[in-house]
């Protein structure tokens, strides 16, 4: 299960997997990102506070979604990643460079006050 919180004033959505990210949650995260983009959110935060059992699978899913978001002018950042996930993102070839923040407030500040526009073609 994935909880989603929307900050409409900033055009930002926060994706919070319930518990540790494992194989069953990876597809839910992928679908949540696609759904949020269809709703018009192009600035997303993935909160990894529960940990991650499958860092290389997560990095592959994120690579594909980040590429599409960036093509639309959007972005994705991570908060509260484990050292294992951070390492997997950096070890991917080519490395997957995602902003990582210690907490949600830091990530929100990085987006600034702009409201997201409705992206198309995700």
Tell me the pLDDT tens digit for each residue of 16-56. 988 888 888 888 998 999 899 888 898 999 998 888 877 77
Query: Could you give the angle at which helices 55-71 and 23-39 cross, rounded to 10 degrees?
Result: 10
Instruction: Specify the pLDDT at position 63.
Output: 82
Place of tokens 């080519």: 94
For domain 2-111, which CATH number applies: 3.40.1260.10, 3.30.460.80, 3.30.750.24, 3.30.200.20? 3.30.750.24
Q: Which helix (H) or strand (E) holds 85?
A: helix 83-91
Of all residues in the chain, the percent with pLDDT exceeding 70 is 90
Map out the domains of the chain as residue ranges.
2-111
**Which conformational region is residue 82 in: left (phi greater than 0), alpha (psi within -120 to 50 degrees), or beta?**
beta
How much is the pTM? 0.83
């Amino acid at each position: 299960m994935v909880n989603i919180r929307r900050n409409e004033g900033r055009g930002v959505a926060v994706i919070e997997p319930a518990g540790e990210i494992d194989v069953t949650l990876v597809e839910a995260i992928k679908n949540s990102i696609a759904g949020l983009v269809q709703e018009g959110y192009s600035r997303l935060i993935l909160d990894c506070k529960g940990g991650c059992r499958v860092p290389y699978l997560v990095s592959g899913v994120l690579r594909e979604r980040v590429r599409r978001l960036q093509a639309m002018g959007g972005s994705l950042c991570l908060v509260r990643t484990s050292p294992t996930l951070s390492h997997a993102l950096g070890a991917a070839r080519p490395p997957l460079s995602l902003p990582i923040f210690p907490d949600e407030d830091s990530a929100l500040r990085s987006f600034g006050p702009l409201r997201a526009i409705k992206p198309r073609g995700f």
